[in-house]
Every structure is written in C-alpha cells, then in structure tokens.
Structure 1
Amino acid sequence: METSPLPTQFSREATIYVEDFITRLRRGQVIEAKKVAIETVNLMRHVISISRWDNVTMLVELIKSVGRKLVSAQPRELLIVNVICRLLRMVEEESEAVEFVEEEWSSREPTREPVSATSNKGSETPAMGLGQAGALLTRNLTEQVTSQLEVETMTLLGFKKNIINEINEYIMELSNIEDDIAKNALEYIHSNEIILTCGRSHTVEKFLRKAAAKRKFHVIVTECAPTYDGHEQAKALAACANIDVVVIPDSAVFAIMSRVNKVILGTRAVMANGGLIATSGTHIVAAAAHHHATQVVVCAGPYKHSPWFPFNDDRFNILLSPDAVLPYREGDLVNTVDVVSPKYDYVPPELVDIFVDSMGGHLPSYLYRLMQENYDDAKDFAWNIYDQ
C-alpha cells in the first residue's frame, strides 16, 4: 500500500504533528489499544482545527487522507481505521444537520422593496437608464448576496465548532470506557464463582475489580507464554482483597475448565462477523470453554468494533521473534525447524456468548446493528483502504 500525499490545505504544523505520530507508530511506542485510539482522535482534532477547509467535502477528504497515511504506517492496526470511520460518521451526521438548516433558509422568500411603476427612467443609455428601479433591484440583490454569505460563514463556523465538540465528547467517552464497562460487572459475576481469564487486559482488570468491591470470588489466569502477560494480570488482581488469584500454564486450560463457571476475556479488536483478534492463547481458552459449555464473556468498547471481515486471518496478525519459544542458542535445532510466534489469535464468533460494552451486553449476532449506528456509510473507507 503506497503512502498517499497529504492535501494542499495541510499546514506545516499539521504535517509535523502527523509525521511525529507515524514515527511513534512505526517504532512501537504507541501499542496499548486505548492509547492508540485516544492519540489518533487527538491527532485528528488537531489537524481539523488548524487545517484550511471550506466545505464538508474538503473535510472528509482531509480525514481520509490522514487515515490512509496512518494505515500505511501501521497496516495491521485495526483501531486506527475504526477511529477514522467513527469520525467520518460524525461529519456525516453533522453535515446532514447543516443541510437541513440551509434548506430552511433557502425556503424563505426574500423580502424585496416594491418598485414604483412611475419611477424615473433616467438617461437614454442602457447603463444609466435603470434609474430608481435599477437602484432598488441592485440593493435587493446586494442584501440577498450579503445575507447568504453571512449565513454560509456562520454555518461553516458553527459546523467546525460542532465537529470539535463532538470529537471532544468522543475523547471523553474513550477515556472513561473501561469504567463504563466495569459498571456492568455485578450482572455477570456472582459470589464464590470461579472466573478464568487470559493474559493482560486493563478492561478485564477493572471489570473484575468492580465486582470485587461487593463480592468475593476466585480468578484463574493463564500465563500466556511466551510473553507471560498473565503474570502481570495476576499481580494486579492480587492486590484486591476479595479476589483469590491462581496462575496456570496454558497447557492446563482444558483440564481446569470443568471447574470454571465463566470465562471473561479482553480483545484487541472485534471483527464485523463477531470474531475476535485477541492475544495469543485466547483461542485455546475459548475452544475449551465451548467444549465444556462454559459461558464466554468478552469485554470490549465500541471503538474496538472493526467493519472488516476476517477473510484473511494473517492480515491482522503480527509475528514476534521466535527466540522466546526456541532460543537461538539451540543452534542445531534452529536450523532444522521453522518456528512461528504470532502475537494474536483469531477467535471465531461461535466461541463467544456475549459482548459487554458501556451500554450493556450484546449477542454476537447484534454487532452488525451497533456497527451500522457507529459507522454507516463510513465503512466504505475501511473496505477500500488497501485499494487506495
């Protein structure tokens, strides 16, 4: 995918800001999901504020061009496309409101002063022969054009202000998303239950902590080798008095699943069909839970809903260094085998029972409705991004 040039209305300051964010993306300095989403929105707010655009079409092309440039820098980062599509949907909704105001204004009959039939004809020349009638017509036309320009200016300024306000509200929503999801914890976690979770997830951590404020239960955490993120999750949960935490190896998941009451998972992204792009090892946990008829609950905010379908599972995956699985010091063995260490697993939707976000619980089959509300026609940008 080639890097598209930035629009001509881009200021030097905006270009520097975009290039700085792209550099940090490529270096892996912005990794955590929530941070990626918030920084992308902050970038777009800054670009929209300082760039020159005169209409909705220019604004949409501005957002799309920056989105293409960010995606070309990190093609496997789904959250960037999700945020860009959400912003395009905001612009679409706001432009519909502006069009309604303009239609209301244009439907009004302009007030014109009556022209007397006995008005002075003036001189015989065409340029000077308009007299009083010509002056009145000229003044009416001038007032009408001036009024229209004032309305257009006020509409554009109001439109820009409303867009910035919408983006600010979206940033607040992203900042509080984990706490909003955690408010539903008591509906899904009950006293003395055994909960199993996989790897490190700040959303799941807050979800469990919120339930532990009023209930006591047990949590089993898989270690998620070779990154061993599960140890960090267990350490964070162990600080809570009402949670008894146990860490198990990934190989023990199937054996322990018969004792588990509920599986609660985090995810990097939710695909359009309800499948998950989650940390490596999640698929094993979900498959074992499906075999034992154990409920699988996924905590994910709306910003993780991707309009893409997983036609190619590897497109959205990242291969890590295999050194953690098979060290290079094992020279004789390294030369005879191929070791693959993927960062994410794809979990099909049939292994997920319910999604929990800030609005409550949803079945996987209902996700299409949520994505339609959040993205609508903006989904076309995501579908065509690799063809640009």
Structure 2
Amino acid sequence: MSGNTFGNLFAVTNFGESHGPAIGCVIDGCPPGMALAATDIQPDLDRRRPGTSRHVTQRQEADQVEILSGVYEGRTTGTPICLLIRNTDQRSKDYSEIAQTFRPGHADYAYLQKYGLRDPRGGGRSSARMTAPMVAAGAVAKKWLRQAHGTEFRGCMQQLGDIPIPFEGWEYVPRNPFFAPVADVSHLEAYMDALRKSGDSCGARIRVMASGVPAGLGEPLFDKLDADIAFAMMGINAVKGVEIGSGFGVVTQRGSVHGDSLTPEGFATNHAGGVLGGISTGQDLEVSIAIKPTSSIITPRDTIDIQGQPTQVITKGRHDPCVGIRAAPIAEAMLALVVMEHALRQRAQNADVQPPLAAIPGARP
C-alpha cells in the first residue's frame, strides 16, 4: 500500500530520506549463487552520483555502497540483499527558509496534503537522491541478466532544454558529463553555464535501450512489458513523459510504415521498440523519457505559506540546474529491473516452452 516496493519476483524496497543518516534498498528474490560484491555495484553509482561536474549539484556524496546481507563468501544466498548508502554531505539549514512555504513544481504541497506533515530538507522522500538505491539494485539485475542472457543496457541524452543532440556514437557517452552521444559538447556547456547564471533550470530528453533481450518476456494483457516499462520510468523523479519505440511519432506514421516487417534475416525496422502485444520480440528495447525542469531554483516565484497567505519563494542550496544530466544511469537501472522481473516470471512459467520458430535477429532503428 505504501508504494515503496518495486517488483514482485525481484522486489526492491527503497528506504531513507535525502537528509537522513542513510538511504538504501532491500532486494528480495535475487537468484542464489551469483558472485556479487560492492565493486559490481559501485561503477553505476559513480555514474549517477552528485558533484561530478560544474553542471550538476555540488553536493559531495561518495555514494559508497555497503552490502549488509544476502551475500555469503562472495555469492548471493537467495535471501534478502540489503544495500546501504550513507549520506555524508547534508546541509539541512539550506531548507530552513522554505519550511513554511511551498515550492512551485515541487512535492511540498502534495506531501502535506497526504501526510499532514513533510520533511522540507531536500524534499525528503521526493528527492532525486532516492534514485541512488534503485541504481544500486539495477546494477545487481544487470549482472544477472548479462550472465543469464547477454543483455546489456545503455542510456544517453537526446535533448538538453531546447537543444536537440544528434546521435554520433555510444563511445562518446562516457567521455562527457552530459551522457551525450556526440564528440563536441562545448555548446551544451555554454548553455548550462548561461542557465546557471540566470538562476533558472531546464528539462531534458533521455534515451535508454536494452540489447540482447530474450523474446517472449511480458504478458498479453495487464502486465505488458511496455506497460511495466512506462510504469517504471514514470516512477523516476521529474519524469513527465515516456515513449516506447517511435512513441508519439506513430501519430503521423502510416500502417505501411509503422509495422516492422519480418524477413528471414530479421526485423527490417524497430518502430515498436522491441515489444509487440506486450511481449518482447528479441529486438532492442527502445525507450525515451521526458524530464521536467528542476523545481528548486533561485528565481523568485509566487506561492503561498502554510497559512494560505501569498508570498514568494527562492530555493537556495545545491541543486541540479537540469536533473536530466544524471538521469541516464537511473533510466538504465529501472529498465533493468523491469526486464529482470519479467525474465524471472518467464523462467517460472514457461521454462519448458520450445518455440516452433527460432528467434530472428532484431534490427535497430
């Protein structure tokens, strides 16, 4: 009922607050016998963590993960895995001035209406910091899927504010702080420098994909693979839109174009994004998400206080002028958790199924 657990067979329960002593998660349902150490998880956390460039929040968190349970002599035991990430650089005083007001676009008002009280320090549970445990859990899922099926996950930025980013190659993504698939990001740096000086923020569009996904994952009605992907992506802080495959582009496509033709050599296109009828085809899963501008900005905005009186609010502190800059590893993790859930479900229900037709190769768009 409380909405803090994602998944059923591979269930991840997220706990903690942005300015509490620690954040973390408990993974229940990880198959036993897989070699697992903190070094398997840390690289993805390092990609997501704050303070890595001048274009993101300057909160300095090492985000060092600790495995508290579920692993014995270097292997998963099949029992719950507890992952802990300690908070070490909180500055709660930065939020003292907004404790009695509501930040437009933030969850302050909604949280107060739901619970009757709220934790204003960094947004508490509504903080994007709560994505770190999901990235840690996603790293565990990624390792199992890589070993079991050869599945790989990648993410990149497609648009920063009003600047579209062309795709030049995946090799460029780890070479710049924007996860941009281009060789030159100087124009993106100049854009963010100007935005930060203006005291405003911007949104972003992120692409995430999974390759090597087995055909047959997903259910035909209420647990469609693409429906669960959309559910997972909308669970990421600040996400306001999700597209699978061609997404909203299908509105202008003709049926003669949109349908991905099958040939003995494989699919000709991938407008469906790797899912047909809620079930994976073996093609790449292709997902794009739209992330809203950061709500915590220093530009004065009209609001009300807890007495309902009009006032203005300025949010001081260390905030991302674009939360989408660090979103690619988060989207990868959530996609991995969905694929993991469905891979375990498929293994449980249909492990003995022998398809009459061998899976054909998938084509990238």
Q: Compute the TM-score of the two structures, normalised by the length of structure 2.
A: 0.24
Higher relative contact order (CA 8 A, sep 6+): 2
- Indicate the structure (1 or 2) with the bigger Cα radius of gyration: 1
TM-score by length of 1: 0.23
Higher helix share: 1
**Higher-strand-fraction structure:** 2
